[in-house]
Amino acid sequence: MQSYLGWVFQLVEHYPEKSTVALSSSEVLDFLIHLKNDRKLAGSTLNQAVCALRTLYRDHLGLPWDIWDKIKITRDVEIPHVMTREDVSHLLGCFRKSRYQTYFTVVYQCGLRMSEALSIRPKDIDGERLVIRVKGKGGKWRQVPISERLLQRLRLFWKSHRNTRWLFPGVGRGWNSSGISESEAQQRCEHSMTKASVWSAMRVARAESGLDKKHAKITNHTLRHSYATHMLEAGVHVRQVADYLGHTTLKPTMIYLHLTEVSETQAREALNTLADS
């Protein structure tokens, strides 16, 4: 609400001689064009200004203006941050507990979102076909391939707790003082690991890895971005990678092509071909 009021105040300052309520639609549109062309605001910031003024004039004052779609907003495209394979391997080796190390290994090797990895159940793993069934956004299911090596690791990990509900069960509150082992606590726990515990484990591993100096911020999604880029570098078709990531269109996956060494090499080879011809 404060940010919305801020845009209204800026509009007042832009037309100091007029009442805000008395402004015409063309004057408000001119103000928005000023924000875009003269102040060169980022797309996300300009969109906030449009939403604030539209709320005032359309929703509160009931004015049926059609100016809101006349200001074209170019969305900012944030380039995903990607780690090298070596840095990923180093980071994964810094998790103290096996449940977190295994969890983040799955996140990286399957390119999963945090909630997707936490909700994996033992029955979602198809050992014969080497795939994991993943429940993604909107409750849509997809299948992500895994290696034989990862399958064996997940089997060993599951045998360490044998929780029938979750692949990554939590331990529950107060298990340390309950007199039971961590494995027993995991077996009895009715919920999966929490996002808070995963974030905490990442913070500790990130600090111990020393990668903070090299990478601005390492998160669960950094490993997902790294998976997508590394898969493309390995020659996997972009459409397959999009399916594995759970993207409904190719557009969000295409951005990873800009991050691959392969795409740059292929571009140079194509240029050489053009030159030769």
Per-residue pLDDT reduced to its tens digit, 215-236: 878 999 999 999 999 999 888 8
Q: What span, in angstroms and rounded, lies between the C-alpha atoms of 221 and 79?
A: 12
**Amino acid (one-letter) located at 211:** L
Query: How high is the pLDDT of residue 271?
Result: 57
Instruction: Tell me: do 54 and 91 sit in the same domain.
Output: no
Q: What span, in angstroms and rounded, lies between the C-alpha atoms of 118 and 103?
A: 8
Portion of the chain with pLDDT greater than 70, in percent? 91
Question: With the CA atoms of 192, 243, 235 and 91 taken in that order, what torsion angle do they form, in degrees rounded to the nearest 10?
Answer: -20
Whether the CB-CB separation of 73 and 33 falls below 8 Å is answered with no
Instruction: Tell me: do 145 and 32 sit in the same domain.
Output: no
| CA distance between the termini of the chain | 60
Q: Is 229 exposed, middle or buried (0-12, 13-18, 19+ CB in 10 A)?
A: buried
Instruction: Tell me: do 116 and 41 sit in the same domain.
Output: no
Q: What span, in angstroms and rounded, lies between the C-alpha atoms of 39 and 270?
A: 40
Average pLDDT over residues 96-110: 96
Residue 107 lies in a domain: yes
Residue 176 lies in a domain: yes
Per residue in 230-265, pLDDT (tens digit) is 999 888 899 999 999 999 888 888 888 777 765 555
Whether the CB-CB separation of 15 and 28 falls below 8 Å is answered with no
Q: Output Rg (C-alpha) for the chain, integer angstroms.
A: 25
Instruction: Tell me: do 47 and 98 sit in the same domain.
Output: no
DSSP 8-class letter at 81: P
DSSP 8-class letter at 191: S
Domain hosting 13: range is 2-60
From residue 64, how far is each of 27, 29, 54, 56, 221 by CA, in Å?
15, 14, 10, 12, 42
Band (pLDDT 50/70/90 cuts) for residue 277 is very low
Beginning with the edge strand found earlier in the chain, give each strand of the sheet holding 131-135 in spatial order. 125-126, 131-135, 141-145
Give how many domains the chain has, as a whole number: 2
Query: How high is the pLDDT of residue 243?
Result: 95
Query: How high is the pLDDT of residue 55?
Result: 87
Instruction: Tell me: do 22 and 95 sit in the same domain.
Output: no
Per residue in 133-190, pLDDT (tens digit) is 999 998 999 999 999 999 999 999 999 999 999 999 999 887 777 788 999 999 999 9
CATH number assigned to the domain comprising residue 185: 1.10.443.10
CATH number assigned to the domain comprising residue 9: 1.10.150.130
Residue 247 lies in a domain: yes
Q: What is the pTM of this model?
A: 0.70
Whether the CB-CB separation of 170 and 189 falls below 8 Å is answered with yes
* Pairing between β-strand 141-145 and β-strand 131-135 as defined by DSSP bridges: antiparallel
Whether the CB-CB separation of 219 and 86 falls below 8 Å is answered with no
Instruction: Tell me: do 11 and 144 sit in the same domain.
Output: no
* 102 compared with 76, residue with greater pLDDT: 102
> Nearest to residue 188, comparing CAs of 178, 201, 200, 199?
178
Query: How high is the pLDDT of residue 145?
Result: 95
